[in-house]
Amino acid sequence: MSVQEVKAQKEFWYPPGGILIWMIVLTELVTFIAGLSVYLYERRSSPDLFHASQSLLDQEVGVILTLLLLSGGYFVARSTQALDADQKEKSVRSLWMGIGMGVIFLGLKGFDYFGKFSEGLTLRYDSFFSYYWLIGGFHFLHVLTAVILLILMNFAIKRGSIEREDVIAGAVFWHLCDLIWLFVYPVFYLLGQA
């Protein structure tokens, strides 16, 4: 086996962040895409019901949530760049900004959920809201997990007790939440609104 073949094989089995995080990414994407596919299938069979329920969502909240997650992703990426440049303090500051965006996302989404629940738009209200709560709630838990990981990661960066691969894995998980939201947001907030 040539040196290039060995290097290519090593890069496959040891991608940035490690193979485990990429297995998690693949599993999560398949799970969310399957859930959204079932949602879209059911939407086709009851378009009026889904459109009426979708109109009860606050479009502005959806846009703000999207901007928060993408901004958080920007700061997480800046943090990893700063760490690679051996700028630990800048990395920590950028990561706190990303964490802040995640916390605001969770607060706003939690407030939105509370409002829907108070209005009786619960999991059992209709098919649309069943999917809205299940898929959206599952994403909410992913963002909560990502925020906790980033907080732990930030303290470890500050102490100097974290490996680069672990930082990359945490950043990849955050970006997974971004990517999933970029599927969830248009399906729930935009589809059929024209």
Write the DSSP symbol of residue 57. S
How far lies 171's CA from each of 22, 130, 138, 154, 177, in Å? 12, 30, 19, 11, 10
Contact 60, 193 (CB under 8 A): no
The amino acid at residue 59 is: Q
The tokens for 179 are 């990517």
Q: What is the pLDDT along the chain (194 residues), one digit of tens a residue?
A: 676 765 666 555 566 666 777 888 888 999 999 999 999 999 999 999 999 999 999 999 999 999 999 999 999 999 999 988 989 999 999 999 999 999 999 999 999 999 999 999 999 999 999 999 999 999 999 999 999 999 999 999 888 888 888 888 899 999 999 999 999 999 999 886 65
Q: Which two tokens stand for residue 48?
A: 């009026």
Contact 184, 134 (CB under 8 A): no
- Reduced to 3 states (helix: H, G, I; strand: E, B; else coil), residue 176 is helix
Our CA angle for 154, 170, 20, nearest 5°, is 145
Query: What distance in Å separates the CA atoms of residue 166 and residue 23, rounded to the nearest whole number?
Result: 15
Which pLDDT value is given to residue 11? 58
Domains present along the chain, CATH in parentheses:
18-190 (1.20.120.80)
What pTM, to 2 d.p., does this model score? 0.88
- Which pLDDT score, from 0 to 100, does residue 25 have? 83
160: left (phi over 0), alpha (psi -120 to 50) or beta: left
Quick check: 137 and 110 in contact, CB under 8 A?
A: no
C-alpha to C-alpha distance for 144 and 28, rounded to whole angstroms: 15
Rounded CA Rg of the chain: 19
Which residue is listed with tokens 């925020």? 147
Give the integer Cα–Cα distance in Å for 125 and 16. 43
The pLDDT of residue 22: 81
Q: Residue 9's pLDDT is what? A: 60
pLDDT given for residue 20 in this prediction: 76
